[in-house]
Chains A and B, each alone.
Chain A
Amino acid sequence: MTATERLVRGLVWAMAAIGVVFLMTPLVVTVAVSFGSSSVFTLPPPEWSLRWYERLWTTRGLWSALGTSVQVAALSTAVSLVLGTLCAIALVRSRIPGREVIATFLVSPLMLPGLVIGIAMLQAFRALGLRDAFASLILAHVVLTLPYVVRTVLGALSLFDFTLIDAARTLGRSYGGALLRVLAPALLPAFLTSGVFAFLASMDNYPVSIFFTDAWTKTLPIQMLQYVEESPDPRIAAISTGLILLAVLALVIGDRLVGLKRLADF
Chain B
Amino acid sequence: MTKRVDLFALSALPAVLYLLVIYAVPLLMLLTRSVTGAEGLTLAPYTAFLSDAFNWQIIANTLRVAGLVTLTCLVIGYPVAFALSWARGLAQAVLLLSIILPLSVGVVVKAFAWQIVLKRDGVVTAALMATGLFEEPPRLLFTETGLVLGAANVFLPFMILPIYSVAKLVDPRLTEAGATLGATPWKRFARITWPLTLPGVISGIAFTFSLSVSMYVIPSLLIGDRFQTLATLTGRSFLLMRNEALGSATAVLLLALAVAVVVGSTWFARRLGRAA
Contacts and interface: CB of A to CB of B under 8 A. Distances in A.
B248 interface: yes
A170 interface: no
A244 interface: yes
Nearest to A249: B104
Interface string A90-125: 110111100000100110010111111101111110
B54 interface: no
A78 interface: no
Nearest to A105: B19
Contacts of B94: 20
B213 A86 contact: no
Interface stretch (B24-32, B41-49, B130-138): B24-32
A185 interface: no
Contacts of B23: 109, 117, 120-121, 143
A33 interface: yes
A192 to B, nearest CB: 15
Nearest to B256: A116
Contact of B114 (A16, A26, A265): A26
A237 interface: yes
Q: Which secondary structure dominates where chain B touches chain A?
A: helix
A30 B110 CA distance: 8
A115 B251 contact: yes
B14 A116 contact: no
Contacts of A109: 19, 23
A113 B255 contact: yes
Interface string A200-239: 1001111100110000000001001100100010001100
Interface residues of B, number: 87
B159 to A, nearest CB: 10
Interface residues of A, number: 89
Contact of B214 (A8, A18, A114, A251): A114
A145 B223 CA distance: 30
B65 interface: no
A191 interface: no
A90 B9 contact: yes
A43 B122 contact: yes
Contact of A224 (B8, B79, B112, B239): B112
B99 A264 contact: yes
A87 B244 CA distance: 36
Nearest to A99: B12
B108 to A, nearest CB: 5
B30 A120 contact: yes
A45 to B, nearest CB: 12
A50 interface: no
Given A15-B79, A210-B235, 18 more contacts: A4-B185, A12-B79, A20-B98, A26-B153, A33-B116, A82-B14, A84-B15, A87-B15, A95-B9, A111-B262, A120-B27, A121-B22, A121-B26, A142-B22, A206-B107, A224-B112, A264-B100, A266-B164
22 contacts: A15-B80, A18-B76, A19-B83, A19-B160, A26-B113, A87-B16, A105-B16, A105-B19, A114-B214, A115-B216, A116-B234, A117-B27, A120-B23, A121-B23, A127-B29, A146-B15, A146-B18, A203-B106, A204-B106, A206-B108, A237-B116, A260-B100
Closest 7 CB pairs of A and B: A204-B106, A113-B214, A90-B12, A26-B113, A16-B83, A124-B26, A87-B15
